[in-house]
Chain A
Amino acid sequence: MTGNRLRAEGLVLTYDNRTVVDGLDLEIPDGRVTVIIGPNACGKSTLLRALGRLLKPRRGTVLLDGAELSRIPTKQVAQKIGLLPQTPVPPEGITVSELVTRGRQPHHKWWQQWTEADEKAVSEAMERTATGDLADRPVDELSGGQRQRAWIAMALAQDTDLLLLDEPTTYLDIAHQVEVLDLVRQLNRERGRTVVAVLHDLNQAARYADHLIAMKTGRIVAQGPPSDVITADLVHEVFGLTSVVVPDPVTGSPLVVPGAPWQHG
C-alpha cells in the first residue's frame, strides 16, 4: 500500500495538553472514498484536521506525496488538498457565485484573478452541485441543503485531487444527506478524486465508503472494506452498542440495526 499520496506516521495530536490521538499510522488509498467513523470524541475530526494541516501534529508527521505536510507552503497544499470544515462561516452577504469563485484563490496570481481555467472550474463546480440557479443569492439566506451544496461547489472549484470533508451531512435532512453523498461518490467515480470524509451515520458510511476506518479513543480499531469492518462485534467494541448486522436490501452493504435492550434480560 505504499505510494499513496496522503499518509500519516506516528501521529500524536493534542488540543492544549489533552492528547486526542496517540501514535497513529495511516494510509489514505488513492482514488477511493475513505470514511472515518467512531463515537463522539474519538478523534476522527481531529485526525481529519491534521490531514488537512489545520492542526499541527505534536509529534509524528502527515506526508503528502512524500513531503512533510507542515513544510509545504500552505498555498501549494491548497492546490492539492481541498477541505471543507465542519461549520464553515461565509463572509457576510457573499453571493453563491462569489463564494464558489473564492475556491479558485489557491490558483490565483494577483494579476490573474479570472482566467479561462477559473471560469471553467467555477461553472463546472456549480453545474455539478446544481447551484447555478442560486448564483445570485446571498449564502446567508439559503437553506441548509443549498448552503452545503454551495460550500461543496467552492471546494470543487478548488480543483484538487484530494478532498477532505468533515461531517458534510450534519444539519441536513435525509434527502439532502443522500444527495450530498451521491455527489461525493460521483466525483470519485468520474474524476478519480480521493475523498476522505468523517461521517456519523454508520449505515451511510458503509454504503458510500470503499475504505472504512473505525476509530475509538484516538486509535484505529479496524480498517478495510465496509463488509469486512462492520460486524456486530466491532459495533459493540467501538460504540458499546448491541446490534444486528444485515445486508442492506438495496446495495448489499452492511446495515446496522440496533438490538432491543430488553433482549439483555
Chain B
Amino acid sequence: MTTPGTSVRPTGFSVLRAGRGSFLLHRRATLVATALGAVLAVTVIAYLCVGESFVSPAQVVRVLAGQPSPDEFVVGTLRMPRLAVGLLAGAAFGLAGAFVQTVARNPLASPDVIGVTHGAGAATVAMMTFGVTAHTTLPYVAILGGMAAATLVYVFAWRRGLLAGRFVLIGIGISVALGSLTHLFVTKGDYLVAQQARVWLTGSLNGRGYDQAVPLALLMLVLIPALLWAARAQRTMSFDDDTATALGVRLGRVRLGLIALGVVLASVATGAAGPVDFVALLAPQIARRLTRTAQIPLVGSALTGALIMALADLLARKLFSPIELPVGVLTAAVGAPYLMWLIVRTRSRSGGAA
C-alpha cells in the first residue's frame, strides 16, 4: 500500500538548485513558454513581412539584427513601432487578466469586470469631447480613468474585507454606469469626435508608435520585482480562503497587491492601445489550458496575450486590405464565441456558480 521513498517531489516539477537556493520548475509550463516564444518569434517576422508591400523574411531578420537593408524604412520605421505597442499591450492585458481572474476565482473575470476598461473609456471620450485629442495626453487620461474606476469599485466592495463575489458584482455595476456615460458623451459630442471616439473604443493600433510603446516598456521593467512577487503569491490564491489562510497567506494583502498590479497593467495597456476586447479574458485561459498548471501561468499569459495581439493586428491589417480594421474587432470576433462557450461549459459543470 505505502510506497516509501517514491514521489520525493511533486509530479511534473524539476528542482533547480543554485547555491543555497532551490526552485521548483513546472516542466510542462517551461516547455509551453518556450514553444509560445518560438511561435511568437515567427509571428513577429510574419507581421513585419506583410503589409502594403511585401518584405522578404530575410530582409526583416536583417533589419531586426540592426544590419543595413533597403527595407529598413518600411520594417523599422513603419511597422516595428506599431508592433511593439501591440506586443507590450498584449502582454500587459494577458498579465492583468491573469491577476483579475486569480483574485476573482472566475475564468469569466477580466479587467472589464473591475471597471478599468470602462473607466479608461469614459475618461478618454470625455476628454475628446472637451477638445483634447493629442495622442500624447490621451493615454495618461485613460490610465487615470481606469485606476479611478477600479478604486471606486474597491471602495464600494470593501466591507470588513474583500469578497470576490461582491467585488465582481459591484465591478459590473460600475462598468455599466460608466459605459452609459461614455455613450452619452459619444452621442452628445461633435460628429468628428464621435467618430474618433468610436475607433478608440474598439481598440486600434493604427497610428500608435514608440510614443506609446516606450512608457509601456518602462513600466513593465519597473514592475518586474512586483511581478516576481505576484508569481508566487498568485499560486496561493488558488485555494479557498480558509485553506489559504491556514497555509499562512495574508489574503487581504495578497488580493490588494494582485488587483493593484492588474489595474495598473490593464489601465496602461488600455491607454496605449485602447480597450482591446477579450485579450485579457482569453490569454490566461488559453495559457492555463496549455500548461495544465494548478494556477494561471504568468509567463504563459503574457506570451499568449502578446501573440493574440500580434496575430489579430496582422489579420486586421491584411484581411480587408487596403481597408484596415481596428484590432479590437478581430479579438472580439474570436473572443465572443469563446466567452459563450466558457459560460455554457461553466454552467453545465457547476450550475453557474463560480
Contacts and interface: CB of A to CB of B under 8 A. Distances in A.
Contact of A119 (B8, B11, B23, B248): B8
Interface string B278-319: 000000000000001111000000000000000000000000
Interface string A99-135: 0111101100011111100010011001100101101
B9 A88 contact: no
A81 B238 CA distance: 21
Interface in B1-42: 1-13, 15, 20-24
B10 A132 contact: no
Contact of B22 (A49, A90, A112): A112
A77 interface: yes
Given A111-B23, A115-B22, A133-B3, A106 B247 contact: yes
A46 interface: no
Contacts of B240: 85, 87-89
Best-surrounded residue of B7, B11, B246 (most CB of chain A within 10 A):
B246
A240 interface: no
Contact of B246 (A83, A100, A114, A132): A83
B24 A82 contact: no
Interface in B168-210: none
Given A88-B243, A91-B238, A94-B294, A133 B22 contact: no
Interface size for chain B: under 10, 10 to 19, 20 to 34, or 35 or more residues? 35 or more
Interface in B226-255: 228, 232, 236, 238-240, 242-243, 245-250
Given A74-B250, A77-B248, A98 B243 contact: no
B105 to A, nearest CB: 9
Given A92-B294, A112-B20, A75 B12 contact: no
B247 A158 contact: yes
Nearest to A90: B239
Given A98-B10, A98-B13, A114-B24, A53 B2 contact: no
Contacts of B22: 111-115
B5 A123 contact: yes
A97 B7 contact: yes
Nearest to B240: A89
Contacts of A114: 9, 15, 22-24
A57 interface: no
B245 to A, nearest CB: 6
Contacts of A94: 238, 294
A123 B4 contact: yes
Main DSSP-derived SS at the A contact region: mixed
Given A54-B245, A97-B10, A114-B24, A105 B4 contact: no
A75 B249 CA distance: 7
A79 interface: yes
B44 to A, nearest CB: 31
A74 B250 CA distance: 7
B2 A119 contact: no
B248 A74 contact: yes
B248 A93 contact: no
Interface string A48-91: 01001110000000000000000001111111011111011111
A106 B248 contact: yes
Contacts of B6: 123, 132, 135
A78 B243 CA distance: 11
A95 interface: yes
B248 A79 contact: yes
B149 to A, nearest CB: 29
A142 B245 CA distance: 24
A77 B124 CA distance: 47
Best-surrounded residue of A81, A91, A100 (most CB of chain B within 10 A):
A91
Contacts of A91: 238-239, 294-295
Kindly list the 4 A-B residue pairs having the minimum CB-CB distance in the complex, ordered from nearest: A78-B248, A91-B238, A75-B248, A94-B294
Interface of B: 1-13, 15, 20-24, 228, 232, 236, 238-240, 242-243, 245-250, 292-295
14 contacts: A54-B242, A74-B248, A81-B246, A85-B243, A85-B246, A94-B294, A97-B11, A98-B13, A111-B21, A114-B22, A114-B23, A122-B8, A133-B3, A155-B246
